[in-house]
Structure 1
Amino acid sequence: MTDLDCPEGYVTLGKQLPTILVAAIALIDVDGRVLIAQRPEGKSMAGLWEFPGGKIEEGELPEEALIREAKEELNIDITASCLSPFAFASHSYEKFHLLMPLYLCRKWDGLVQGMEGQATKWVKISELNTYPMPPADDPLVAMLRDFF
């Protein structure tokens, strides 16, 4: 298959894009709802909803990144033993390739608060597809819906 044969929006293997590693978390409450956060103004893809998380720092494990990000972004405490690997997204954007493991978490300490000006919302998993999300998150939404 050549570049000309690929459907629009797909990137052929061999195109050199930097890979960005991020980790995301699907916090699931006792009512079976999942937390999503809205990307604030001034950030790329502002206004879209996403699973909370962030970049994995040099030498950091994905679980460590999520523990740090949960405290910084949501003011909650989670432990690695409460994180369950679920799925991952691999998506090429125009300027980078995103690799993002998604973890499930049902137990944390504290009340969720958007600490960086982002709106947060608890949503039924069956209704996640009604919220506009970055393209990398779309397959994760489908996997969550099919799993629960």
Structure 2
Amino acid sequence: MELPSLIPVCCALIEHEDRVLIAQRPLEKHLGGQWEFPGGKMEPDESPTDALHREIKEELGCTLTITAALPPVIHTYPAATIQLHPFIATLSPDSSPPQAYEHVALKWLNRTELAKATLAPADIPVLDSYLTHSA
């Protein structure tokens, strides 16, 4: 049996005033309605950080300053296996505020709210790593 290939994706835990941004996936997409850390698929030959900057600009219309990388996560969904590259970031000083261009809604959550949030399955170990990292 052949193992499925890994789909490389990236995400950002965007910090602002002791809160982190989460985004609700469009209802018609895979995992529709679930909350996630924003990001997306990497293009061939694109680094995780380049992909993150591109995806955040496309999805949220803002720019980031990456402050740390968290350990990658491999997660298998029924249709695909992803390798998720998570980063901690802040909004760049000259950034526009995030807008929900490709999501249903955005929420800024504090650590307590984040720990209770219902996230997409691949983001759960990312959250655990973040809470440990930023403790």
Establish whether TM, by shorter chain, passes 0.5: yes
Q: Write out the 4+ residue segments of structure 1 that deviate beyond 4 Å after TM superposition.
A: none
Structure 1 residue runs of 5 or longer lacking an equivalent are 1-13
TM-score of the superposed pair, with normalisation by structure 2: 0.89
Within a 5 Å distance, the mapping from 1:84-123 to structure 2 comes to: 84-108=68-92, 109-123=95-109
Pairing 1:22–2:9 present: yes
Pairing 1:48–2:34 present: yes
Q: Name the counterpart of 2:43.
A: 57
The structural deviation recorded for 1:146 is 2.1
Larger radius of gyration: 1
Instruction: Output the aligned Cα RMSD.
Output: 1.6
TM-score of the superposed pair, with normalisation by structure 1: 0.81
* Secondary structure, aligned partner of 1:28: strand
The structural deviation recorded for 1:15 is 5.7
Structure 2 residue runs of 5 or longer lacking an equivalent are none
The structural deviation recorded for 1:24 is 0.4
Aligned residues: 132
Q: Which amino acid aligns with 1:120?
A: L
The structural deviation recorded for 1:83 is 4.5
Higher relative strand content = 2
